[in-house]
């Protein structure tokens, strides 16, 4: 009951924090796609490099986010962004690499050898093969990776409130420091709801982007 | 014309080196179908793929119409060679229209031209463009997919085609249909084709020449008839099968063994005239009855003519079967066995009698080529 009253009286704050949260995740995962998809495609050319890249990305993802923020503070202070928006985005960008790179790599590698040979035999250049065959066929799996990244990083972004990046984590951190269970609970529920909604919307988008001939 | 000179491919594998193709030298003349035939792993596919450089030769070279393929850019080379792979390889993310139009698009045809071409090709293989253009490969049967695979390779009208077991994935009945369709197309298009098969019957049916491979080596390269009548060694003999004489039957059409000087009787000839004609022509058992337009109506058997009096029109028996000029002798032999006949009348496309095929004629024709070399 108390919680509902809290929500009703703080609607605009809640909306503002949610938007901040979404903006952070969208920008960071967006950048992560621009980086991870090309890397995932590039490493299909060389198995050894692929192993090194995927291994590195898995190590990054095991670093606890609090520790990662801590490491970045002195490094980014050099350019005057030790805390706030920049380290938050960078952290999410790094955490997103594993699901995005791995899914892109697996998807491209899984295009059947027959199709690849048909594309070569028909006289497509390697860029045409990527654009016309390999990427369209990989879209569903790449999108699944993006979904994983988004859902995971909505959680990570909640912690970024501690370094002043804003977002719904602000409610959680305030709830803890002020011993105010209302803010803590509202913040936690909002983060979970956001993750569920994002996952549902992205699943719908994934279906839209899947080539019609692959839907059954 | 495809000229293959000393083409060799050695694969370096963990188990050691594999010589997949060993100094292959052969020529495929313009407009002919050359079938590469042999047991699994003998190097047919490898040889084929060296022509469009999907596999890079270890040594030797391939000339297409006199031009060395190593001198050409591989992408350009491949766009000028139709390629049908064994796994069909239709792009599942593209509609049938897009699949067929892919090469024309790559080489810069305009939309109107490649759209028209796609419809035209579908019609050529008896598929309705209205129904199929917008579909996706997973909405087609195996046989339909295989047809699309073939017409996709034909789309930009390449002079040369490479086909790796293009009809492998279809049941025997549909395979015959699609083979016939393809032969009909080929008579119009006159492409220079290399075609991989492991089926001797398919090879005999499709090929102008057959190349028999064994363990990377080309063992014999001959016309189907020469191959069947004069297999070079025991391996080829074993491969073409002990029924090779029967297989040759399908290489010969009725037209080639037709006895055109056939005596006939008309409706209002009398039975005694019929007997005289039979004796003159040396027919032991019967003579064909034709109408005024010389269309076969039935036959008069000797016993009937001897036992009765009157006009032929009252005493004839119906023909059990007729054959056409373009039928092959395998069909004819089958009809002869079915109807217990030693001869069959042959008609042209208007139904007019052209002559007769006899068992003796068939045997003589097949025997003649055996003796020619012995
Ligand atoms: N990429 C490769 N690496 C190593 N060995 C290969 C490779 N491709 C083919 N070979 C080997 O070369 C030989 C010839 O293979 P190829 O595919 O040409 O046979 P094929 O006559 O087409 O057989 P099939 O009828 O089974 O298709 C085989 O022993 C095969 O194992
Ligand atoms: Mg093969």
- Mind listing the pLDDT tens digit for each residue in B181-220? 899 999 999 999 999 998 898 999 899 999 999 999 999 9
A142-151, A194-203, B9-18, B278-287: least confident range:
B278-287
For residue B317, the distance in angstroms to the closest alpha carbon of chain A comes to 59
Looking only at the bridges linking them, the beta strands covering B353-358 and B343-347 are antiparallel
Query: Is there a contact between B22 and B216 (Cβ–Cβ < 8 Å)?
Result: yes
pLDDT tens string B25-49? 999 999 999 999 999 999 999 999 9
Domain boundaries defined on chain B: 2-251, 254-366
Considering only CA atoms, which of A31, A183, A188 is closest in space to residue A96?
A31
Residues pairing with A115 in the sheet: none
Please answer yes or no on whether A123 and B79 come within 8 Å at the CB atom: yes
Query: Is there a contact between B225 and B251 (Cβ–Cβ < 8 Å)?
Result: yes
Tokens for B6, please give them. 């000393």
What is the interface pTM, i.e. ipTM, of the complex?
0.84
A63-72, B88-97, B103-112, B129-138: least confident range:
A63-72
- Exposure on the CB side of residue B48, measured as CA atoms within 13 A: 30
Query: Is there a contact between B264 and B290 (Cβ–Cβ < 8 Å)?
Result: yes
Q: What pLDDT score was predicted for residue A216?
A: 67
Q: How far apart are CA A23 and CA A29, in angstroms?
A: 10
Residue B307, burial from CB neighbour count under 10 angstroms (0-12, 13-18, 19+): exposed
- The helix or strand, by DSSP H or E, that contains position A37, with its residue range, turns out to be helix A11-42
Question: Over 80: is that where the pLDDT of B335 sits?
Answer: yes
Contact residues on chain A for B85, CB-CB shorter than 8 A: 114, 117-118, 121
Write down the CATH superfamily of domain B254-366.
CBS-domain (3.10.580.10)
Query: Is there a contact between B158 and B80 (Cβ–Cβ < 8 Å)?
Result: yes
Q: What pLDDT score was predicted for residue B370?
A: 55
How far the first Cα of chain A sits from its last, in Å, is 47
Task: Place B369 in a pLDDT band, splitting at 50, 70 and 90.
Answer: low
Q: What pLDDT score was predicted for residue B171?
A: 83
Q: How far apart are CA A93 and CA A85, in angstroms?
A: 12
What is the torsion angle, in degrees rounded to the nearest 10, for the CA atoms of residue B166, residue B167, residue B170 and residue B173? 170
Q: What pLDDT score was predicted for residue B363?
A: 83
Q: Write the DSSP symbol of residue A131.
A: I
- Give the residue from A112, A118, A210, A211 with the most B CB atoms within 10 Å of its CB, the best one to mutate: A118
Q: How far apart are CA A212 and CA B94, in angstroms?
A: 8
Q: How far apart are CA B6 and CA B57, in angstroms?
A: 10
Question: Over 70: is that where the pLDDT of B233 sits?
Answer: yes
Query: What is each CA distance from B226 to B4, B207, B244, in whole angstroms?
Result: 21, 12, 11
**pLDDT, average across residues B216-229:** 93
**pLDDT, average across residues B316-344:** 89
Query: Is there a contact between B43 and B8 (Cβ–Cβ < 8 Å)?
Result: no
- Please give the number of the atom of ligand 1 that sits closest to the Cα of B216: 14
Please answer yes or no on whether A122 and B83 come within 8 Å at the CB atom: yes
How far the first Cα of chain B sits from its last, in Å, is 32
Name residues of chain A where pLDDT drops below 50. none
Question: Over 80: is that where the pLDDT of B95 sits?
Answer: yes
Contact residues on chain B for A132, CB-CB shorter than 8 A: 91, 94, 102
Query: Is there a contact between B161 and B82 (Cβ–Cβ < 8 Å)?
Result: yes
Q: How many CB atoms lie within 10 A of CB A48?
A: 8
Please tell me if residue A52 touches chain B, with a CB cutoff of 8 Å. no
B197 lines ligand 1 (CB under 6 A): no
Q: What pLDDT score was predicted for residue B373?
A: 44
For residue B95, the distance in angstroms to the closest alpha carbon of chain A comes to 7
- Tell me the pLDDT of chain B averaged across its residues: 91
List, as one string, the DSSP characters of B174-213: HHHHHHHHHHHHHHHH--EEEEEES-HHHHHHH-SEEEEE
Task: Place B367 in a pLDDT band, splitting at 50, 70 and 90.
Answer: confident
Closest chain A residue by Cα to residue B155: A122
- Exposure on the CB side of residue A56, measured as CA atoms within 13 A: 11
Laid out side by side, the sheet with B81-84 consists of B81-84, B160-164, B192-197, B33-37, B209-214, B217-222
Mapped onto helix, strand or coil, the DSSP state of residue B30 is coil
Contact residues on chain A for B69, CB-CB shorter than 8 A: none
Q: How far apart are CA A85 and CA A98, in angstroms?
A: 22
B192 lines ligand 1 (CB under 6 A): no
For residue B73, the distance in angstroms to the closest alpha carbon of chain A comes to 10
- Give the residue from B92, B94, B108 with the most A CB atoms within 10 Å of its CB, the best one to mutate: B92
Q: How far apart are CA A8 and CA B324, in angstroms?
A: 92
Please tell me if residue A126 touches chain B, with a CB cutoff of 8 Å. no
pTM of this prediction?
A: 0.81
CATH 3.40.50.300 corresponds to the domain B2-251: yes
**Smallest CA separation from ligand 1 atom 17, residue:** B45
Least CB-CB distance to A128: which of B80, B85, B106?
Answer: B106
Closest chain A residue by Cα to residue B136: A213
**Smallest CA separation from ligand 1 atom 3, residue:** B11
- Tell me the pLDDT of chain A averaged across its residues: 92
Q: What pLDDT score was predicted for residue B284?
A: 84
Percent of chain B clearing pLDDT 70 (strictly above) = 98
Question: Over 50: is that where the pLDDT of B374 sits?
Answer: no
Least CB-CB distance to B89: which of A117, A125, A213?
Answer: A117
Residues pairing with B347 in the sheet: B324, B353
């Amino acid at each position: 009951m108390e919680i509902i009253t809290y929500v009703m009286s703080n609607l605009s704050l809640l909306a503002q924090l949610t938007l901040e949260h979404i903006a952070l995740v969208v920008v960071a995962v967006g950048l992560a796609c621009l980086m991870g998809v090309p890397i995932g495609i590039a490493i299909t050319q060389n198995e050894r490099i692929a192993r090194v890249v995927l291994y590195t990305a898995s190590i990054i993802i095991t670093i606890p986010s609090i520790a990662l923020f801590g490491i970045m503070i002195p490094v980014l202070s050099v350019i005057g962004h030790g805390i706030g928006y920049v380290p938050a985005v960078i952290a999410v960008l790094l955490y997103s690499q594993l699901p995005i790179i791995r899914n892109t790599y697996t998807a491209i590698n899984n295009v059947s050898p027959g199709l690849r040979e048909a594309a070569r035999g028909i006289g497509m250049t390697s860029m045409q093969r990527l654009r016309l065959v390999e990427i369209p066929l990989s879209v569903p799996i790449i999108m699944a990776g993006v979904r994983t990244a988004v859902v995971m990083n909505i959680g990570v972004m909640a912690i970024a409130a501690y370094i002043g990046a804003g977002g719904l984590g602000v409610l959680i951190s305030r709830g803890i420091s002020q011993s105010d269970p209302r803010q803590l609970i509202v913040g936690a529920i909002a983060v979970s709801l956001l993750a569920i909604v994002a996952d549902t919307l992205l699943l719908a988008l994934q279906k839209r982007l899947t080539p019609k001939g692959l839907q059954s | 014309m495809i000229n293959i000179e000393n083409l060799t491919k050695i694969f370096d594998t963990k188990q050691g080196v594999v010589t997949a193709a060993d100094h292959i030298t052969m020529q495929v003349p313009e407009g002919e179908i050359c079938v590469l035939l042999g047991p699994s792993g003998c190097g047919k596919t490898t040889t084929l793929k060296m022509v469009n450089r999907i596999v890079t030769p270890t040594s030797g070279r391939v000339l297409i119409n006199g031009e060395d393929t190593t001198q050409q850019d591989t992408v350009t080379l491949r766009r000028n060679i139709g390629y049908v792979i064994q796994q069909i390889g239709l792009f599942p993310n593209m509609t049938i229209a897009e699949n067929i139009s892919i090469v024309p698009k790559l080489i810069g045809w305009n939309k109107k031209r490649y759209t028209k071409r796609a419809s035209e090709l579908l019609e050529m293989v008896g598929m309705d463009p209205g129904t199929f253009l917008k579909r996706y490969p997973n909405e087609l049967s195996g046989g339909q997919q295989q047809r699309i695979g073939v017409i996709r390779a034909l789309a930009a009208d390449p002079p040369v085609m490479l086909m790796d077991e293009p009809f492998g994935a279809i049941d025997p009945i549909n395979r015959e249909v699609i083979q016939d369709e393809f032969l009909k197309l080929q008579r119009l298009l006159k492409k220079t084709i290399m075609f991989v098969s492991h089926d001797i019957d398919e090879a005999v049916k499709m090929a102008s020449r057959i190349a028999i491979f064994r363990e990377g080596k080309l063992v014999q390269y001959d016309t189907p008839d020469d191959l069947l009548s004069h297999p070079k060694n025991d391996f080829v003999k074993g491969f073409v099968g002990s029924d090779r004489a029967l297989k040759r039957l399908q290489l010969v059409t009725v037209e080639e063994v037709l006895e055109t000087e056939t005596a006939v009787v008309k409706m209002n000839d009398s039975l005694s005239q019929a007997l005289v004609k039979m004796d003159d022509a040396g027919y032991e058992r019967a003579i064909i009855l034709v109408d005024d337009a010389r269309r076969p109506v039935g036959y008069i058997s000797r016993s009937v003519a001897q036992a009765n009096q009157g006009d032929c029109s009252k005493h004839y028996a119906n023909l059990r079967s007729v054959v056409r000029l373009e039928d092959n002798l395998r069909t004819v032999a089958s009809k002869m066995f079915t109807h217990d006949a030693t001869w069959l009348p042959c008609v042209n496309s208007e139904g007019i009698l052209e002559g007769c095929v006899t068992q003796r004629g068939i045997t003589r024709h097949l025997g003649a080529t055996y003796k020619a070399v012995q």
